[in-house]
Amino acid sequence: MTDESKIQPILEIKNLTVDLPNDSDRIHAIEEISIYVDPCEILCLVGESGSGKSVTAFSVMGLLPKDQLTPSSGTIDLMGENLLEVSAKRLRELRGARMSMIFQEPMTALNPTMTCGDQINEVLVTHTSMNYAMRRAKVINILGQMQLTDLSSIADSYPHQLSGGQRQRIMIAMALVLDPVLLIADEPTTALDVTTQEQILRLIKEIQHNHETAVLFITHDFGVVAEIADRVVVMQAGRVIEQGPAKLVLKQPNSPYTKMLISSVPNFVSHCRPLTKNAPIVLATKNLCKTYVRRGLFQKTREIRAAHSVNLEIRRGATLGIVGESGSGKSTVARCIARLIDPTSGHIYLESYDIAQVSQNSLRALRSRVQIIFQDPYRSLNPRRTVGASIIEGLVNYGMSKKEAYNRACLLMPLVRIDPDVLNRFPHQFSGGQRQRICIARALAMEPDLIIADEAVSALDVSVQSQVLELLDDVRRRLNLAVLFITHDLRVAAQVCDTVAVMHRGEVVEYGEATRVFDNPQHEYTRALFAAAPGRGFDFANVSIST
């Protein structure tokens, strides 16, 4: 029979159902999930937030929050052992040794008060009887396999002393030091820069190949799927809605939901838009510099050039994108322009008025003309205020009566496609996408000339991301706004920007019309960014449903 000829999977989840607490919006976090991971295979579990992909992974590790999520039926077999029935002691023996897990945000997933070497060493202390010298040798050896250099100094460093990529390598080293048969990776590259993401993905693939590990890889990004997956399982609202070989699912998805997810991945083709060359310049910077100086009585003065000689221009009705990785200075520029921080030197012209060195008092009158939308809509709205109160706060501060301000907020809501009746609700009652639209409404309420969107869609699911981007663009067109769009994601920039500035180490390395930069990047760093984007060879926009 076919069953006998089939290889035994490393992990087999059968009909797994996990219940949510009683007061939730649905009964099950995941329902009747059946998936398997074969030896030496990378299975990508794809879905948007709330789809149950992380719950599935945590069920395997036995790390579900106690009392809140409980597996109610089904089995999880790891090489023939049902993880839902083994003792707590046996589960601890398996964790870190037979199966291990890496997490999304390596900064928070590592203990800040222990050196990286100690954290890896702890796995060895827990699961083996090796002596100190053997353990140290093993730690150094696994760090070497992570393609890190200067191994013993890395082992003695604390997580905050390393870069994001290095930290994630430490996490991977910790997970793989005992050669587990199963590695679960929960969005391991989502918090990383594109170039780092590319390296980490390559590393995981290589290690998986060398150690013949089975990998359960959780992601929301079909770009990453195209890069790494052997097989794909797509989840939506706690159910598996599609599974199959990666190539097949990516090219001919069966379900409309999968197709929607795939085609939401923006591609690099820049949209041609009517040029706004003759529109008045709303904001221009000239030789804008920001240098952080660290002084100490007994220490050497250190200077960090966060932004150096930045020259940019934004015209009315146009979008300028600043693209760069973390630490490139893109947010510093945005904050200088909004005068949230004071530039060290240079000029910032808001229309013709230089605001670079204006005092905080005279700045107040100008504040309403530049508004910011921040990255994380969960944290940029005050959880204890109704969204209506958040939206009108700025207006009331500038002397408008509450009633008038509220009326204006109501008029704004259709523009961001939210029902004005919900203004008296609190932020937690909205989804991420809705919250970001509320943040847009809050910015628009001030009737600004310039909107700064600082990574405004980075925290959102791809499908929501495209909606918010489209909305932002629609608002820009209707109100003829100037938009400064800060992003680390080239594909997002390609969708909305008229002009693009690529920043690297505090300097603008490439600046020009979006179509020109995307079709024919000149600077090597820009090219490196393009080369690192996951799934770059894949045309996500034109996927058809198989029939």
Q: Which residues are at the interface with another protein (CB under 8 A)?
A: 61, 63, 92-97, 100-101, 103, 105, 108-114, 122-123, 126-127, 158, 160, 171, 174, 296-299
Closer CB to another protein, 108 or 152, in the complex: 108
Closer CB to another protein, 126 or 544, in the complex: 126
139 touches 124 (CB < 8 A): yes
- Residue 19's SS3 state is strand
Tokens of 433: 């996408």
- Secondary structure (DSSP) of 445-504: HT--SEEEEESTTTTS-HHHHHHHHHHHHHHHHHHT-EEEEEES-HHHHHHH-SEEEEEE
CB 223, min distance to another protein, A: 24
CB 294, min distance to another protein, A: 12
Q: Residue 497: phi, psi to the nearest 5?
A: -95, 140
Neighbours of 61 (CB within 10 A): 19
Closer CB to another protein, 214 or 451, in the complex: 214
Closer CB to another protein, 114 or 366, in the complex: 114
Neighbours of 410 (CB within 10 A): 15
Closer CB to another protein, 188 or 388, in the complex: 188
Produce one character per residue of 500-536: b if its CB has 16 or more CB atoms within 10 Å, e if not.
bbbbbebbbbbbebbbebbeebeeebbeebbebbbbb
DSSP state of 414: G
Taking alpha carbons only, the member of 50, 73, 44, 70 closest to residue 59 is 70
| CB half-sphere exposure, 477, CA atoms < 13 A | 12
Q: Residue 37: phi, psi to the nearest 5?
A: -125, 120
Closer CB to another protein, 108 or 480, in the complex: 108
What's the chain's Rg over C-alpha atoms?
25
Closer CB to another protein, 111 or 152, in the complex: 111
Closer CB to another protein, 24 or 161, in the complex: 161
Residue with tokens 């930045």: 310
CB 158, min distance to another protein, A: 4
Whole-angstrom distance, CA of residue 467 vs CA of residue 462? 9
Closer CB to another protein, 38 or 122, in the complex: 122
* Torsion, Cα of 104, 105, 111, 115 (10° steps): 100
Taking alpha carbons only, the member of 183, 174, 170, 244 closest to residue 210 is 183
Taking alpha carbons only, the member of 256, 202, 251, 252 closest to residue 224 is 202
Tokens of 298: 């007994």
CB 17, min distance to another protein, A: 22
Closer CB to another protein, 128 or 252, in the complex: 128
